[in-house]
Structure formats: C-alpha cells, structure tokens
Amino acid sequence: MADAAIELIGINKSFGAVHANRDIHLEIPRGTIHGIVGENGAGKSTLMSILYGFYQADSGEIRVGGKPTAIRTPNDAIAVGIGMVHQHFMLVENFSVLENIILGAEGGALLGGSIARARAELARLEREYGLEVEPDAIIEELPVGLQQRVEILKALYRGAEILILDEPTGVLTPAEADHLFRILGQLKEQGKTIVLITHKLREIMAITDNVSVMRQGQMVATRVTRQTTVEELAELMVGRRVLLHVEKGAASPGEVKLAVRDLVVKDVRGVVMVEGVSFDVRAGEIVGIAGVAGNGQSELIEAICGTRRAVSGSVLLDGKPIDVTGNADPGDLRDRGLAHVPEDRHHVGLVLAFEEAENSILGYHDDPRYLRGPFLDNDAIVADAEDKIRKYDIRPGNPHLKTANFSGGNQQKIVLAREMEQDPGVLVVGQPTRGVDVGAIEFIHKRLIAMRDHGKAVLLISVELDEIRSLADRILVMFDGRIVGERGPEASEGELGLLMAGIEKKEAAE
Amino acid sequence: MSVPFARLPRWVDYGLIPLVNLLVAFIVAGLVVLLVGENPLRAATILFDGAFGSGQNIAYTLFYATNFIFTGLAVAVAFHAGLFNIGGEGQAYISGLGVSLVALSLDAFLPWWVVFPLAILGAAATGAAWAFIPAYLQAKRGSHIVITTIMFNFIAASAMVYLLVDVLKPAGSMAPETRTLLPGAQLPKLNWMLESLGMSVRSAPLNVTFLLALVMAVVVWALVWRTRLGYEIRTFGFSPKAARYAGIGHSRIIIVTMMISGALAGMMALNPIMGDQHRMALDFVAGAGFVGIAVALMGRSHPAGIVPAAILFGMLYQGGAELAFEMPNISRDMIVIIQGLVILFAGALENMFRPTIQTIFASFSPRSVGLPAARGEGA
C-alpha cells in the first residue's frame, strides 16, 4: 500500500496522569474504508480529536498525503481535506439545509452569492454521490438519517477527501444504516477515504476494508477485514474471550406482573408520544420493546415508573393499579417491588457529583437499613455499597470515589446493582448497555437473564436491535407511539427493521 | 467525546485559588486607593490593624462576622437545593419582629438564659414563615424564587418601617425604634474570652450569639451531609430529574429547604437586637443579608468555608470603618467599593484564574491533576 491518505507516527497524548494515546502508529490507505474499534475509554475519540485539531498530540507526527502536517484547529484539518461527522450532529436546527452547509464558509457579509454557489455545488454533490436532500428543508423537520446526510454534505462541500464518522449508526434504523453504508461505498469508489469509529462489530465486518483495534490507549492490532472474525475483534478489544451471544434457556412465563392498558402519554411540548399502548409482562419473561429512538419508548417507561404523568390509561402492578395519571410516586412503586433502571443514567439514574456509596442508595434512602433516626447510617451504607461492588465487579472498587469518575459500564453497574439487589418483582430497564463496553455488556446481559430465571418480570427497552433479539422472549415493536407488531425472538432483523420503520402500518392503512 | 477538565488537589481548590482571588481583589482595591491619592500599603496596614490590631478590634470584627455566618449559612443551605435565596436581607429584617416580641414581653420576668432560647425560636419561626411564601410560590406556581425573594425584601423593609413607626415605637419617643430591652433580654458579652487570652476589650458588642452562629455552622454541616433530608436536598440540587426518579417530592424539598434557610437568616436578628443595641432600630440588618450571598459563594457553600469568609467580611467592615476614620480621603463609600471588589473576584469571577492555575499545575506535576479517568484510581 504505497499511497497513504493519513499516517500517524508515534502519537502520544496524556491528560494529567492518564495516557489516553500511547505511541499510536496508524496508516490509512487512500480510497479505503478504515474501521476503528475499541471499548469506551480506549482512546478512539481522543485520537480522532487529535486528527481533527480539537487536541494536540504531546508528541508524534501526522502526515496527510505523505506530507508532515500540523493540525492545530479544526480549520487546519478542513484545509488539508479532513472532514468529520460527529456522533451528535453540529447543525442549527431552525436553519435550512443550505444555510447549514455554508455555515462557517459564508465567504462575505452578504449571503446571496454564497447561497447560489452552494446550491450549484450541492446539486453536483447530489448527482455524484446520490446524496439527495431538499436544499431548502428546515433541519428540525428532517428525519435523523437525512440530518446525518447534511453533515456529510457539509464536509464534502468543504472539500473533504478524508471523512471521519464517529458512531454514525447509533441513531439510525437498520434501513437507514444500510443506506448510509451504500453512500459510504459510493464515496469510496470516488476515491474518498473514510474512517469509521464504531463499537458495532457487525458494521465493521459489513463495510470496512481494514480495521484497527484500540485498547487502553494503544493500537493493539490492525487487520484486513476479510481475514478476521467478529470473535477475534471482540477478543482484541477486551483482551480476553467474550461471549457475544448470551446463552439462555426457554422462558417459563407465570402470572401477569405488569399490565399496561390503553396508555396515552404526552411529552413536555404536549405532543402525544404514546398513543394507547397495551401489553402484559409476566413473571419469568423478558419483554423487549424495540424501536428507533424517539418513538415513544422513553415516555412509556417513564409513565409506568411514575416519573412522567400519563394522560389516560391504566397500569396494574401485581393486579393493583398504579396511579399513572395522578400522583404515582416512584418511591411507593419501589416499595411495591417495581425497580427502574432509567435510560439516562447521567441525569436520572445517578447523581454524578455524589460518591459511589451515596448513589448506591438513591431512591432507597428512606429504607431503615440505611438510617439511624433522621441521620444516614454511613457505616451501613458503605458496607452495603462494598458488598454490591464485590457482587457486580464495579471498578475501581472505591465507594468514596465520585461517580463521575467511573466509566460508563461501571456507572451502569452501580445502577443495576442498586435496583437488582432490592430483589424487585418487576424490573423495567431502559437502554441497559448504551455507552457500555463489551465486557460489561456481557455481564449485564447475564444478570438480566438471571433475573428472568428467578421468576422476575423484565421489561426491556433498547434501540439496539441485537440486544433485544438476544435477550427478549417476546419483542414488541414501537413506531410513532403505537405498538405495531409483536414477534418472537426468532424474528429476522429485516422483518423487525421494517416494523421499526413503520412500513407495515402504512401498507395496512392503504 | 469526553472533555478533559483536570481536577486540582484539594488545597489548591480550597486554599490557593481563594487566596489568589483575594490578592487580586486587594491589588485592584490598592489601585483605587492610589487614585484618590493615598498610600495603598498604609491603607492596608490601617485596615488590617483596625480589624485585628487589638482585642477591642477583634471583638468588633467577630461581632460583624456573626451576622455574616448566619446569612452565609442561609444562602448556602438553599444553594444545596439549587435555590438562590436572595431574600436573606428581608428574612433577617422581619425576624427582628420575632426576636423583639419575645424579648419585649418576657424581659421583665425571666433571665436571659430563658429568654434567649425562646428568642431563637421566635427568630427562626419568623424567618422561616417569611421564606415559606416565596418557597410555596416556587413549588406550586413556578414563580421564580430569585424574583420573589427580592420582592419580599422590599415588602419586609416597608412592613418594618410601618411597624416601628406606628406600632412598636413607645409613645412620646421621636426615634423609630422599640423601647430599650431590660437586662432579662440582654445577652452576655464574650469579651472575657479575648481577655483571657491577654487582650484588652473595653466595650465591644461581641456576645453569645457568636457561639450560636458556630453551633449553627456545625448543625448545617450535619444537616447537609449527614441526614436523610440533607441527602434529599443535595440530590434535588444536583439533579431534579434524579430526585423525581428517587421519589423525592420537589415541592417538599423546596419548601423545607427555604424554611431552613429563612430560619438561619432570621437568627441574624438576635445579634444586633439582643446582643448590641438592646432595642430594635430601623434597618438593623444593614446589608448583612446580601453580604451572606458573597460569603456563601466564597465559602463554597460549606460551613468550614463560610466561617472564615464571614470573618474576612467582618474584617472589611470593622477595618474599613477604622480606615475611613484615619484617612479622610477614603470615605465609607470607598470601603463599599473594596467590599464590592472582593465579592467580584472571590464570588462572581471565582473561576477566572482557575484554568491558568490548572495549566501551571499540569505542566509541573501531571500526577497531581488526576483526570476523571475511565479506569483511574481517582482522588
């Protein structure tokens, strides 16, 4: 491979005591799709930030097209033809597509000329790469898949030859993801170089030419994708063998623990997000709710767990009603055996400024076990936290460490340990493995299966279709506030993907 | 993408940074002194001497600090619930009513050590009641607590003028103040404490309320960090969503926290009324409620920071009075400017020098700035 688009030579970067990137060597051949995988905190994002000029390396050299290049700011990166599509889009929501594309490249005090030029350029890009998007559409009215396309167009408009995509499929339906991959393939054929950062190994296998694996700040291996396997990559990422598919026996559902009937929930803007949803969850089964983020799943579980008031409908816990349209109190529900692992562990499930031990009693802080009169019984709380740290292998095992200093996976374990150790009858879990590394995912999945096998009712909400398929005994697909179908765990990804995109619903309506 | 924001050792966070801020405040104040044609070094000497030069001066400094400890704690407790209580001034003012009603009705029959606890309750109850109204409006109606507490300062001020002029003023008196309290409602001085250290105190107003302030500092610490209520307050303050998830009712926390805050502010009234002037006069709070905001900011809402910060502001009050006396060019208003600069640098611009200090530390000893690491050992 003579022609390298990017060469990184001996890149080092430390933040204080943490060596985020350690002597990284990487060569990305021109005109290829190069995957970079690694657990959270492995240093992928730091490396890409150095390449895009957000940070500067402590030592080492970057060569773009064979020439040593200093990249101090994102503008430098753009100047040498590096473009980046961020995980969280950097778009102005109430601007049009065209306005977003020229943002930062207006080229003068008056917009008229640059808009006309951009329109012509956009038409050319659309023709060349099949990136159709209505130039005058307002960003917030576009689906996420198209918003992402605008991000890509933005980079191409600035003349990007090398495109970095950070976790691009997190927000997409399987169909949208497939479309993205086709676009990336076309870009590659046109000679562009693409760097894809992801934790989804399947995507790596599907579209990359080469793949590099990072672990603990080091580049541990680079493979030609055709010559490697998912199992090998997972093992390289974690440093040990990983069970990618949870083994579980058949479910033996018992009595109905949680019954949801005709639930209607609005969000803060007053938009109806859940439109008459009904289902049951029985003891000893995991019911999974699949769907693209933003189709009402979040509001649904918040209403069930008493953190959002429902408009109408009812929920029965062990046959007795929960006052979901009135003053359902999450504290009371905990006492009644409903535990809740919320989707947003940073703002809801945990108080990041608290010590680990303080978070290990959140919601159970009025349990007499943790109290001496009006005072907190610190000895009991810390002993209890240490016990959970051991059982759930939470690292570092220091109950006095600030929660913000734990990794995503360990933070999630803190929440899971707290909710599962109360031995609830019903467990509602939202996005249990979002932002969690591979090793911890395996652990969390095993725990959820163990809960089920102990006869608990588990309601699982996840945007990871793989997770739903490997854990759930029954899969409900949510689209636009309704449950549009129920399938067994053997349902194919394509079938579920169509349901998630609301295809069947449309056909039925016609 | 995680943003690396390195942490600093505790002594830098709580010692060095406030010290640097203070130093800058004094340097800028020195420039102001220079502008009016006085010698800043001599001014600083007079200020410091005036605050700590003799037993008498120290007693005055601590007397003022007593006020600021109460109001600083009041602001800090509300801060922990994410509430900005600007109403300490009004809560303290209206609490003068609770104090003087207890004192005026009992001072003829009971000794001070019976009247004092009852007056504490009176002060706390009035302050809490006054804070309850904005708290209720915030909790149930969503009226912003900053706006309502500011407005309640004005209402308290006007109400007290009416009461002092038309109701509490003894017949025939020209001054808008209550009658002088009898010895049964006059608090013992603490001058013996300083005298036992070999200092001479002639007639300073430092009294047992200072000890009450120190006790309340410990109580606030225990409340916030050791009780279930404190846990709930902090949870709500850090993340209202997490509080809702944990089953912590937001109305209850807002109302209870604000009432505790109001009660602490209210106790400030004991110091001037029963400890110093032995009567309630117009405007006896004299801005202590607002100084409390600066004290709480500077003390990082922790009692261990609030007490020294209150003493610092006591020093500025007492030393500033001496300075205005000694240097005719420096008026009372100049002293207010200096206080303002301290508030500006220590409170509002608290983090101005932080990034620089962080960079310096990171380059000297990377290990001292343990980053919030994925798998690090942390602090």
Q: What is the pLDDT of residues A112-154, one digit of tens each?
A: 778 888 888 888 888 887 788 888 889 888 877 888 889 889 8
Contacts of A17 in chain B (CB under 8 A): 366-367, 369-371, 373, 376
Listed range (A8-17, A26-35, B82-91) with the worst mean pLDDT: A8-17
**Interchain pair A374, B227: CB under 8 A:** yes
The three-class DSSP label of residue A111 is: coil
The whole-angstrom separation of Cα A202 and Cα A228 is: 12
Look at residue A17 in the predicted model and tell me its pLDDT. 65
List all residues 6 or more positions away from A16 whose beta carbon is below 8 Å from its beta carbon: B4, B6, B362, B366, B367, B368, B369, B370, B371
Q: Give the containing element (helix H, strand E) for B141.
A: none
Min Cα distance B5 → chain A (Å) is 9
The whole-angstrom separation of Cα A151 and Cα A163 is: 11
**Would you tell me how many other CB atoms lie within 10 Å of the CB of residue B22?**
16
**Interchain pair A363, B369: CB under 8 A:** no
Contacts of A86 in chain B (CB under 8 A): 1
Contacts of B378 in chain A (CB under 8 A): 396, 398, 401-402, 405
**Would you tell me how many other CB atoms lie within 10 Å of the CB of residue A489?**
16
Evaluate whether the domain defined by B36-348 bears CATH number 1.10.3470. Answer: yes
The nearest alpha carbon in chain B to A58 belongs to B363
Contacts of A306 in chain B (CB under 8 A): 247
Q: Does A398 touch chain B (CB under 8 A)?
A: yes
Q: B71 pLDDT exceeds 50?
A: yes
**Interchain pair B4, A354: CB under 8 A:** no
The three-class DSSP label of residue A337 is: coil
Residue B293 phi/psi, 5-degree rounding, is -65, -45
Q: Does A22 touch chain B (CB under 8 A)?
A: no
As separate numbers, helices (DSSP H) first and strands (DSSP E) second, chain B gives 17, 0
Name the residue with tokens 């200092």: B199
| pLDDT averaged over every residue in chain B | 89
Look at residue A317 in the predicted model and tell me its pLDDT. 95
Dihedral-angle region of residue A159 (phi above 0 means left; psi in -120 to 50 means alpha; beta otherwise): left
One-letter amino acid at B10 equals R
The model's confidence at residue B7, banded by pLDDT at 50, 70 and 90, is low
Look at residue A509 in the predicted model and tell me its pLDDT. 44
Q: Any idea what DSSP says for residue B276?
A: I
Contacts of A354 in chain B (CB under 8 A): 234-235, 238
Nearest to A273 by CA among A310, A321, A316, A313: A310
* pLDDT tens digits for range A352-392: 999 999 999 999 999 999 999 999 999 999 999 999 999 99
What does the domain layout of chain A look like in residue ranges?
4-238, 256-349+423-509
List all residues 6 or more positions away from B9 whose beta carbon is below 8 Å from its beta carbon: B361, B368, B369
In B172-239, alpha helices (H): 191-195, 209-226, 228-238
Min Cα distance B229 → chain A (Å) is 8
The fold adopted by the segment(s) A4-238 is Rossmann fold (3.40.50)
Give yes or no for a contact between A290 and A478, defined as CB atoms under 8 angstroms apart.
yes
Partners of residue B122 on adjacent β-strands: none
pTM for this prediction: 0.79
The three-class DSSP label of residue B35 is: helix
Q: Any idea what DSSP says for residue A347?
A: I
The whole-angstrom separation of Cα B276 and Cα B269 is: 11
* pLDDT tens digits for range B286-331: 999 999 998 998 888 999 999 999 999 999 999 988 988 888 888 8
The whole-angstrom separation of Cα A332 and Cα A338 is: 9
List all residues 6 or more positions away from B109 whose beta carbon is below 8 Å from its beta carbon: B184
CA B346 to chain centre: 14
Residue A458 phi/psi, 5-degree rounding, is -120, 125
Listed range (A179-193, A431-445, B95-109, B114-128) with the worst mean pLDDT: A431-445
CA terminus-to-terminus distance, chain B: 22
Look at A291 and B10; give whichever has higher pLDDT.
A291
Taken in order A351, A352, A355, A359, the sign of the CA dihedral is positive
The nearest alpha carbon in chain A to B1 belongs to A45
Min Cα distance A248 → chain B (Å) is 31
Fold match, A4-238 / A256-349+423-509 = yes
Cα–Cα distances (Å) from A36 to A205, A233, A449, B255, in that order, read 12, 11, 31, 52
Contacts of B244 in chain A (CB under 8 A): 307, 330, 348
Min Cα distance A484 → chain B (Å) is 29
Give yes or no for a contact between A402 and A354, defined as CB atoms under 8 angstroms apart.
yes
Min Cα distance B354 → chain A (Å) is 16
Q: B209 pLDDT exceeds 70?
A: yes
Q: Does A349 touch chain B (CB under 8 A)?
A: yes
The whole-angstrom separation of Cα B141 and Cα A366 is: 28
The whole-angstrom separation of Cα A71 and Cα A62 is: 8
The model's confidence at residue B378, banded by pLDDT at 50, 70 and 90, is very low
Structure tokens at A306: 């008493």
The nearest alpha carbon in chain A to B244 belongs to A307
The whole-angstrom separation of Cα B379 and Cα A405 is: 9
Q: Does A365 touch chain B (CB under 8 A)?
A: yes
Buried b / exposed e along A250-269 (16+ C-beta atoms within 10 A): ebebeeebbbbeebbbbeee
* pLDDT tens digits for range B185-200: 999 999 888 888 888 8
List all residues 6 or more positions away from A141 whose beta carbon is below 8 Å from its beta carbon: none
Smallest Cβ–Cβ distance between B242 and the set A18, A54, A350 belongs to A350
| pLDDT averaged over every residue in chain A | 87
The ipTM value here is 0.81
* pLDDT tens digits for range A294-337: 788 999 999 999 999 999 999 999 999 999 998 889 999 999 99
Interfacial residues of B (vs A; Cβ cutoff 8 Å): 1-2, 4, 6, 222, 226-229, 231-232, 234-235, 238-239, 241-242, 244-249, 362, 366-379
Structure tokens at B351: 């983090």
Q: B146 pLDDT exceeds 50?
A: yes
**Interchain pair A18, B371: CB under 8 A:** yes
**Would you tell me how many other CB atoms lie within 10 Å of the CB of residue A66?**
12
Nearest to A1 by CA among A40, A39, A31, A29: A29
Name the residue with tokens 């409620």: B289
Look at B375 and B238; give whichever has higher pLDDT.
B238
List all residues 6 or more positions away from A70 whose beta carbon is below 8 Å from its beta carbon: A62, A76
**Interchain pair A329, B367: CB under 8 A:** no
Chain A interface test: which of B231, B238, B359, B377 (most A C-beta within 10 Å):
B231
**Which listed CATH number (3.40.50.300, 3.10.20.600, 3.40.50.450, 3.40.50.970) goes with A256-349+423-509?**
3.40.50.300
The whole-angstrom separation of Cα B211 and Cα B20 is: 30
**Interchain pair A344, B241: CB under 8 A:** yes
Q: A223 pLDDT exceeds 60?
A: yes
Contacts of A87 in chain B (CB under 8 A): 1
The whole-angstrom separation of Cα B248 and Cα B235 is: 9
Look at residue A287 in the predicted model and tell me its pLDDT. 96
Burial of B178 (0-12, 13-18, 19+ CB in 10 A): buried
Q: Does A303 touch chain B (CB under 8 A)?
A: no
**Would you tell me how many other CB atoms lie within 10 Å of the CB of residue A419?**
24
Look at residue A243 in the predicted model and tell me its pLDDT. 61
The whole-angstrom separation of Cα A187 and Cα A165 is: 13
Contacts of B375 in chain A (CB under 8 A): 41, 216, 395-396, 407
The nearest alpha carbon in chain A to B360 belongs to A16
